[in-house]
Amino acid sequence: MIWDKVAEKAMAQLTAEERRNGVLYVDQRELAPNSMVSIDGSEVQVRRASVMAFVDQEPRANWGHACRYMLIDLASGGVTSIPAQFPPYLRHVPAELHVVYKGEAVPDWTVAKP
């Protein structure tokens, strides 16, 4: 699966509310099968080669607030959604984290940039 397809798959999972008021990021690092990824301080096992997407559902809020992660299976395109409270970064936004979509109601200053 190429990055455009990953972005399309992630976008298709957005709710109407997330499309209006959210920001969708895709981390362009492939997660290896049986690896672990940290989400909200918990380790989540990645069963198959996947990519992680992050949806900031409240980009105007600071620190802990509604968000969710998606693990997108690179072979099947299957998506696992994981509700969360914290982003995949605290101070430093990884260079591999790219904005894929920004809701029309989201101001530019709320978008995380590397």
d(CA 46, CA 112): 25
d(CA 103, CA 68): 15
Kindly list the domain boundaries of the chain, sorted by start residue: 3-103
Beta bridge partners of residue 72, listed in sequence order? 51, 79
- What is the average per-residue pLDDT within 8-27? 96
pTM beyond 0.85: yes
CA torsion angle for 17, 20, 21, 23 (degrees, to 10)? 100
**Tens of pLDDT, residues 75-110:** 999 999 999 999 888 778 888 999 999 999 899 999
